[in-house]
Amino acid sequence: MSNKTLRIGFVGAGCVNFGRWNVSWDHASRLERLGGFQVIAIVDPDTDKAEQVLKTRQTSQHGGFYKDCVVLADIADLIRMHPDAVFIGVPPVARGSLQQNKDLELQCVKAGIHVFMEKPMSVLPLVKFQPYAAAIQKAIEEAKVVLSVGYMFRYHAAVMKMKELMKQHGGKVMSFNARYYYAYTEMTNIYWYNAELSGGPIVEQATHFCDLARYIVGDVDLATVHTLMLDSDDRSGAGHIAHVPLGAEDGIPPRKKIPRVTVSHWRFADGGLGCLTHSIALPGVRYEANIDVQLDGLKLSLIEPYQDSCILRVRNMEKGRRDEDRDFTFEGSDSYSTELKTFMEAVRTNDQSVIKSSYADAVKTYELTWAIRLSGEQNFRA
C-alpha cells in the first residue's frame, strides 16, 4: 500500500471536524493520531472561527500537520488547490443540493477529489434530493473516486460482533427495536431545533439507528412505515419541554418545532419487523441508545454504543445457559477512528470496496428517515 502523505482539506470548522469545548472526539483529533497527511486548507464562510481553529491546531503538539494550512471562505478555492481528499462537515442545509453553492460534494467528486462526508445527505425532501443524488452517483462512477458517508456505527466492534453471531445463527431477523433518547438541556447545536435547517430529529440524529436497522437487518419495505409523533403543541400538553437551551426555539412557530417523541414501525423486505423510538426529554448531555435484535433462540442487545463502556449482551441456545446473558465489552475500540482509518487507506489504494457506507447505500437510509418523518407528519394530531 502507498504511504504517500495525503494532502487534505477540511470543509467546516465546526464541531464534527474540530470539536467543541475542548472535547477532542472530532475527526481532526483522530486523524492526528493516525498521521500520514498534511492539512492544506480549512474552508468556512466564518473565517474568524476557522482562523481560531487553525491557530489552536498550529500551536498544539500536532502543529506540524497544519504548517502550510490556509483558511478559505469558499470550497471552490480549496478545489483549485487539488487536495487528495476533503472532509465535509457542514450542516446539511448548506449542502446536498443542486442549488448554487450547496453542491459541495458534487463539486469535489467532479474534480476527482476523494470525499468523506457527514450524514445526513441533505435536508431536501426526496423528490428534490433525487436529482442531486443521481448527479453525484454519475460523477462518482466517472471520476472513480472514493466516497464515504459518516455512518461510523457500521465500523463499531460490537456491530461487527453482532453480524458475526447472526451469520453463525444463519436464520432471519424477527425483530429490530432501537431506542434513542436525546439529552437536550445543556449542550446543543441551535440549528438542530429547526427542522428546515436540520431535517428534524430522525433525518438528522436518529439516522444513525435507521442506518443500523438497514445494515444489520436489510432494506425496509418503505410502504409499511407507520409513525406517530408527539408534537410540541400537542393538545394534551405532553409535548411541552421546559429546558431548551440557548433560546434555540425562540421565534420558531409551534408547527415548525421538532417533535418531542417519534415512534415508528415497519416491515423489513426480508419479513422481520422493525421499531424506532426517539425522544427529546433527558436532562444533561448523556444520550441513551439501545438496540435489541431477535432471531429464533438468539437475542442481541447493543447497549450504549456511543459509550466506551458499550455492552453487547447475548442470550442464546447454549445448553444449560439459555436463561443467562453473556456480555461482550469493547473498551478502547473507537468506531470513528476505524471509519477514518479505513477511508484514508481507501484513498491511498483508490479502493471504494472497503468503505462500509457508500453514497448509494446512504441514500437508502435517507429515504427511510424521510419515510418515517412524512408518515409522522401525515398522522399529526392537532
Ligand X SMILES: NC(=O)c1ccc[n+]([C@@H]2O[C@H](COP(=O)([O-])OP(=O)(O)OC[C@H]3O[C@@H](n4cnc5c(N)ncnc54)[C@H](O)[C@@H]3O)[C@@H](O)[C@H]2O)c1
Residue indicated by cell numbers 462537515: 89
What is the closest distance, in whole angstroms, from the C-beta atom of residue 365 to ligand X in the complex?
A: 13
Question: Is position 70 an interface residue for ligand X (rule: CB under 6 A)?
Answer: no
Report the SS3 class of residue 214: helix
Angle at which helices 207-216 and 359-378 pack, to 10 degrees? Answer: 120
61-88 as b/e: b if 16+ CB within 10 A: ebeebbeebbbbeebeebbeeebbbbbb
**Which span (84-92, 107-115, 293-301, 326-334) binds ligand X, by CB under 6 A?**
84-92
Question: Is position 83 an interface residue for ligand X (rule: CB under 6 A)?
Answer: no
Give the Cα separation of 100 and 7 in Å (integer): 26
**Which span (6-14, 173-181, 239-247, 322-330) binds ligand X, by CB under 6 A?**
6-14
Question: Is position 310 an interface residue for ligand X (rule: CB under 6 A)?
Answer: no
Question: Is position 30 an interface residue for ligand X (rule: CB under 6 A)?
Answer: no
Question: CB 217: neighbour CB atoms within 10 A?
Answer: 22
Question: Is position 201 an interface residue for ligand X (rule: CB under 6 A)?
Answer: no
Q: In what order do the strands lie in the sheet with 311-315?
A: 220-230, 261-268, 273-282, 173-183, 288-295, 298-303, 311-315, 326-329
Report the SS3 class of residue 197: helix
Of 75 and 216, CB closest to ligand X: 75
Pairing mode of beta strands 220-230, 114-117: unpaired
Of 11 and 276, CB closest to ligand X: 11
DSSP alpha helices (H): ranges in 190-292? 195-198, 200-204, 207-216
Pairing mode of beta strands 70-72, 37-43: parallel
Of 7 and 226, CB closest to ligand X: 7
Binding mask 40-69 for ligand X (x = CB under 6 A): ---xxxx--x--------------------
The site that binds ligand X (CB under 6 A) totals a number of residues, namely 23
Residues 335-374 that bind ligand X (CB under 6 A): none
Of 43 and 139, CB closest to ligand X: 43
What is the closest distance, in whole angstroms, from the C-beta atom of residue 127 to ligand X in the complex?
A: 21
Give the Cα separation of 275 and 210 in Å (integer): 10
Q: Which of 9, 83, 91, 259 binds ligand X (CB under 6 A)?
A: 91
Q: Is the dihedral of CA 255, 257, 258, 259 positive or negative?
A: negative
What is the closest distance, in whole angstroms, from the C-beta atom of residue 50 to ligand X in the complex?
A: 7
Q: Which of 6, 16, 28, 39 binds ligand X (CB under 6 A)?
A: 16
Q: Which residue is nearest to ligand X (CB)?
A: 14
Residues 139-158 that bind ligand X (CB under 6 A): 150, 152
Residues 171-190 that bind ligand X (CB under 6 A): 189
Of 164 and 308, CB closest to ligand X: 308
Distance, C-alpha 27 to centroid of its chain: 13
Contacting positions for ligand X (CB under 6 A): 11-16, 43-46, 49, 75, 89-92, 94, 118-119, 150, 152, 189, 204
